Structure 1
Amino acid sequence: MTSPLLFLFATVILLLTPGPTNTLLWASGAVVGVRRSLPLLIGELLGYLSAILLILIIFEPIIEQFPLFQPLLAVILGLYIIYLAISMWRRADHISATAELITFKKIFLVTFLNPKAFVFALTLIPIGHNQMHWYFVALAASIMFIGLSWVVFGYLVGSVAGQHNLKLFNRFSSVMLTGFAGFIVISAWQ
């Protein structure tokens, strides 16, 4: 996609779409607040950029030769997200345990395996474009801004809900993660 405005529009829409990374950022904002959630944004950024570069360099040729490779990655992501959802459900009563569950490494891994990275790498980023570096700059800025928006949104919802309702909030986040895992796995095999 060589139009900068279309690229930015598609990027923002894709990043705003709820998914596992956004759900974890949202939950972190609610549970530990904005300041303690900020390092997670770097995990998200590095997860996306690492995945995109790996897809472009290694996975694209493999996917062309072995079409089942991409659905297999989706199943792995789905299973990992279900693991996170179960852990979040079990720890819903313990806010500190939920906070320990949403770590830099886990945000990185969920984002690294996120199907959105495939959309960026194989559809949106104009590979070979003489100004491609500016597309990556715009992507990085969008990832940080929209990720921060999810954290702030979670913080606001958590503030309104209050500490006594965070158990319900964590359970709701767990159910959302399970739904995303199912959607990712089912859509990969269609």
Structure 2
Amino acid sequence: MSIVLSMAAFALACSITPGPVNIISLGCGARYGFRAALPHVTGATLGFILLLLLIGLGLHEVLRQWPLLTQLIRIAGVMFLLYLAYRLVSDDGQLSTAPGQKVPSAMGGALMQWLNPKAWLACLAGMGAFVADGDVLMVWVFSLLYLVICWLSLASWAWAGASLRGYLERTAGIRWFNRGMATLLAGSAVYLLLE
């Protein structure tokens, strides 16, 4: 298997599997529709790629020398996941597409990646596995490949959520859906604490 195919397989495995950003993409699609979820999908993808590039270009060395910084990032990420879970649990369950409705932003998606421990682990593991020698060209190849795969993966989660909209038209259905998503986010947070 060529290095590019191996990179693609790694990117797909990390991007498509359930995680906090995927769960939020699913919820955005269910609540606001596919098109409205795309800014979140795009922002989360670009936020991840920026993190991946920085790690590939040397940020991992800073983290290695300052392990406390890694722990602080992990704790901040877990707290953010728990906050998102709380917001989902306390949501009223109203599906609204009114003009004033606050939909997920690109900046929120990008920020979520920077607070997402899964994203940090994927960046560190991916760059460690494929670009450990620091080849700048390979850092860019991996990042561009990951850009396409990550965006398509997150968009597929948003599309799946949008496909559920018809089944979740009742307020009670959205509340149960949100509670399920909140449970998954809280479970992710607990898992990351125990890891």
Quick check: TM above 0.5? Answer: yes
Q: Of 140, 144, 148, which aligns to 2:151?
A: 144
Once the two structures are superposed, the pairs formed by residues 107-126 of structure 1 within 5 Å of their partners are 107-125=109-127, 126=131
Q: Separation in 2 of the partners of 1:120 and 1:93?
A: 33
* Structure 1: stretches of 5+ with no match in the other structure: none
| Partner of residue 184, structure 1 | 192
* Structure 2: stretches of 5+ with no match in the other structure: none
TM-score by length of 1: 0.85
The share of aligned pairs that are identical, in percent, is 23
Tell me the SS of whatever aligns to 1:100: coil
8 Å contact kept, 1:55–1:121 = yes
Once the two structures are superposed, the pairs formed by residues 1-190 of structure 1 within 5 Å of their partners are 3-57=3-57, 59-96=59-96, 100=102, 102-125=104-127, 126=131, 127-128=134-135, 130-164=137-171, 165-187=173-195
8 Å contact kept, 1:92–1:170 = no
Q: Separation in 1 of the partners of 2:95 and 2:186?
A: 20
Offset at 1:129? 5.5
Q: Separation in 2 of the partners of 1:131 and 1:62?
A: 20
Q: Separation in 2 of the partners of 1:155 and 1:89?
A: 20
Give, as a single letter, the amino acid of the residue that structure 1 aligns with 2:51: A
Deviations 1:31-51 (A, max 9, x none): 111011111112111210222
TM-score by length of 2: 0.83
Alpha carbons of structure 1 residues 81 and 150: separation in structure 2 relative to 1, 3 Å = same
Structure 1 residues 45-54 or 139-148, which shifts more? 45-54
Q: Separation in 2 of the partners of 1:137 and 1:56?
A: 12
8 Å contact kept, 2:11–2:149 = yes
Alpha carbons of structure 1 residues 21 and 136: separation in structure 2 relative to 1, 3 Å = same
Q: How many correspondences in the alignment?
A: 185
8 Å contact kept, 2:32–2:103 = no
Alpha carbons of structure 1 residues 96 and 104: separation in structure 2 relative to 1, 3 Å = farther
Offset at 1:25? 0.3
Give, as a single letter, the amino acid of the residue that structure 2 aligns with 1:176: L
Alpha carbons of structure 1 residues 22 and 86: separation in structure 2 relative to 1, 3 Å = same
Q: Cα RMSD between the aligned structures?
A: 2.3
8 Å contact kept, 2:36–2:103 = no
